[in-house]
Amino acid sequence: MTNALSSIFTVNSAPAARLSIQTQPSATATAGAAFGQQPVVRIEDQFGNLMSLDNSTVVTVSRGLGSSVLQGTVSRGAVNGLVTFTNLSYNVAETINLSFSSGSLTGTASSNVVVSAAAASRLTIQTQPPSNATAGVIFAPQPVVRIEDQFGNLRSSDNSTVITASRSAGAGVLQGSTNVMAINGMVTFTNLSHTVATNITIAFSSGSLAGATSSVVMVSPAAASRLTVKTQPSASATAGVVFAQQPVLRIEDSFGNLVTNDSSTVSRWFGSKTSSAICGPATAARLLPPRGRRAAERSRGL
C-alpha cells in the first residue's frame, strides 16, 4: 500500500494554563546587588507549549522563602510568551526563593538563592554596657558590637576586623582590653572598666566604618579608702583664736574619687574633738592652736 502525506497544518497552543521557569535566578547573590542571573518565565498551556503569541500577560514575582521584600521591577509583561526580569535584588542576608504568579495561571517557584551580606559599612551595639558601674570594677554586662553592611546584615564571615573602644562623654581613660578582633562578625569585650566616678559613654570605632556610641554609664566611687586635705588650715594663727581658714578633708576611694554618698564617716582632728562627713568632705568648724586650746580648757575648769 502506498503511503500518503497530508498538507501542512498548524497546531496552536491550548489556552494559557501555567507558568514555568526557563532561567533560574542566581544560586548566590549579594545583598543590595542585582542578581547576576535574572529569572526568565514561560507562559505555557497545559501541555507545556509556549504561548508564543502572548504579548499581554503580566507576571508578578515576590519573595517566597525569607523575611523581607524583593527589590526591583517585580511585575513585567510577556514578550512572545516569555517574561524576562532585569533588576531583581534582595537586601537581607538569608536564603530565599522567588514565587511567580499571574491571575488564574498556576504559579511556580524558583530554586533557592543564598544572599550574603554586602561590604562592611557600620558598627552597631548588640549589648550595651551597664547603666550603673563602680569605679575600678569590670562592667557587667560587657558591650558586644556587630559589624554590619549598609542594610543591617551581620558580616558573619568577618574574623579579622579590630574594633577599638574608648571613653567618649565624661573624663578619664577607659580601662581594660580596648582593641578586640571580630569573631563571626561580632566583637565581645571582656574586661572594660573605668576608674573615674562620672557619667561616661563608650565610643566604638574601626577604620572607615561608621562608629557607634553606647548609652550612658553612671560610674560611682569605690569603697572609701583614704583621706586627703582639700583645704589647708591657715598658715599662721593667734593662740586662742579660731583659725581663719579651717581645714576640709576629702574622703576618697583608692582612685581619688570623692565618696559623695558618705555622710557618716567621723574624722578625728589634732587639737579638736571630731567632725562628721557631709557628702564626702569633713569640715572642722572651730579648731584652736594647741596652746590656746589648753588655756581655754583650764579657764573652763577642764
The residue extents of the domains of the chain are 16-116, 122-220, 226-299
Omega of the bond prior to 141 within 30 degrees of 0, cis? yes
Half-sphere exposure of 202 (CA within 13 A, CB side): 30
Distances (CA, A) of 98 to 16, 86, 107, 115, 245: 21, 14, 11, 12, 83
| Phi, psi of 270, deg, nearest 5 | -70, 125
| Residues 8-27: tens digit of each pLDDT | 877 777 899 999 999 999 99
Residue type, 265: T
Q: Tally Cβ neighbours within 10 Å of residue 261.
A: 12
Contact 124, 212 (CB under 8 A): yes
In this prediction, residue 302 has a pLDDT band, given cuts at 50, 70 and 90, of very low
| Residues 73-83: tens digit of each pLDDT | 999 999 999 99
Task: Return the percentage of the chain with pLDDT > 70, whole number.
Answer: 88
Q: Which of 99-113, 189-203, 247-261, 265-279 has the lowest mean pLDDT?
A: 265-279
In this prediction, residue 113 has a pLDDT band, given cuts at 50, 70 and 90, of very high
> Nearest to residue 144, comparing CAs of 158, 131, 172, 163?
163
How confident is the prediction for the chain on average, in pLDDT?
90
Residue entry with cell 554618698: 261
In this prediction, residue 297 has a pLDDT band, given cuts at 50, 70 and 90, of very low
Distance between CA atoms of residues 245 and 218, nearest Å? 35
249 or 278, which is more confident: 249
DSSP state of 92: S
Contact 119, 73 (CB under 8 A): no
Across the strands, what pairs with 75? 60
Greatest extent of the chain over all pairs of C-alpha atoms, in Å:
159
pLDDT for the residue 178: 98
Architecture label for domain 16-116: Sandwich (2.60)
Q: Which of 19-23, 42-46, 141-145, 264-268 has the lowest mean pLDDT?
A: 264-268
Scanning the chain, the segments in alpha helix (DSSP H) are 290-299
pLDDT for the residue 284: 54
In this prediction, residue 262 has a pLDDT band, given cuts at 50, 70 and 90, of confident
Q: Domain 122-220's class?
A: mainly beta
pLDDT for the residue 293: 42
Contact 288, 240 (CB under 8 A): yes
Contact 206, 123 (CB under 8 A): yes
| Residues 115-125: tens digit of each pLDDT | 999 999 999 99
